[in-house]
């Protein structure tokens, strides 16, 4: 038997003030758009903001449904919007934030497994990494250079060839 270890590096900032202007602006947009989320059941509003390679900014929010499996996360709403409106322009960075009445939004959240798979597919499609900036409404911020880092042993189109 052999044992292997998987790990990845990520940056941790004390708060948004330590980010570059571009990353801080993207996180601020994600924080602001949480107010547009449709989350009447969980009260867990998630906002995502993406910067495209051409500099354009796109926004997305989670959209819940009384039939829980029918809802969709902010990250996938955003990727679908980007693919529809700008099918040939890659997303180069995405910020994700949340707000809720159930707890203080003072820590980062990361994409769920389904969103990680969707982010990886988008990276593969454009052969470009998506820089992920994750933070609550206040507090520390995590930055990961590529969504691929967050999904070890990923299932990709290579398996379907």
pLDDT digits (tens, 9 = 90+) for 76-132: 999 999 999 999 999 999 999 999 999 999 999 999 999 999 999 999 999 999 999
Residue 57 has pLDDT above 90, yes or no: yes
Residue 158 has pLDDT above 90, yes or no: no
- Say whether pTM exceeds 0.75: yes
Read off the tokens for 65.
């449904």
Record the tokens describing residue 80, joined without a space: 């679908």
5-38 confidence digits (pLDDT tens): 999 999 999 999 999 999 999 999 999 999 999 9
Strands 141-144 and 44-52: unpaired
Phi/psi for 10 (5° steps) reads: -145, 155
Residue 68 has pLDDT above 90, yes or no: no
Span between the terminal Cα atoms of the chain, in Å: 30
Helices (H), 1-159: 21-33, 74-85, 113-126
Nearest to 142, CA basis, from 42, 3, 11: 11
Q: Which domains does the chain have, with CATH numbers?
A: 11-151 (3.40.140.10)
Cα 42 from Cα 121, distance rounded (Å): 28
Give catalytic residue positions. 75
Q: Which of 134-138, 142-146, 155-159 has the lowest mean pLDDT?
A: 155-159
So what's the pLDDT on residue 159?
Answer: 86
- 8 Å CB contact between 31 and 98: no
Residue 70's pLDDT is 93
């Amino acid at each position: 038997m052999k044992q292997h270890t998987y790990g990845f590096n990520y940056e941790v900032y004390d708060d948004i003030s330590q980010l570059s202007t571009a990353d801080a602006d993207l996180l601020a947009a994600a924080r602001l758009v949480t107010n547009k989320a449709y989350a009447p059941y969980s009260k867990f509003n998630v906002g995502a903001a993406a910067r495209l390679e051409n500099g354009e900014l796109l926004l997305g929010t989670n959209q819940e449904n009384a039939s829980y499996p029918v809802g969709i996360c902010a990250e996938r709403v955003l990727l679908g919007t980007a693919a529809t409106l700008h099918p040939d322009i890659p997303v180069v960075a995405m910020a994700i934030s949340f707000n809720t009445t159930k707890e203080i939004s003072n820590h980062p959240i990361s994409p769920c497994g389904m969103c990680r798979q969707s982010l990886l597919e988008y990276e593969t499609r454009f052969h470009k990494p998506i820089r992920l900036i994750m933070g609550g409404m206040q507090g520390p911020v995590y930055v990961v250079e590529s969504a691929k880092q967050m999904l070890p042993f990923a299932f990709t189109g290579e398996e379907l060839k």
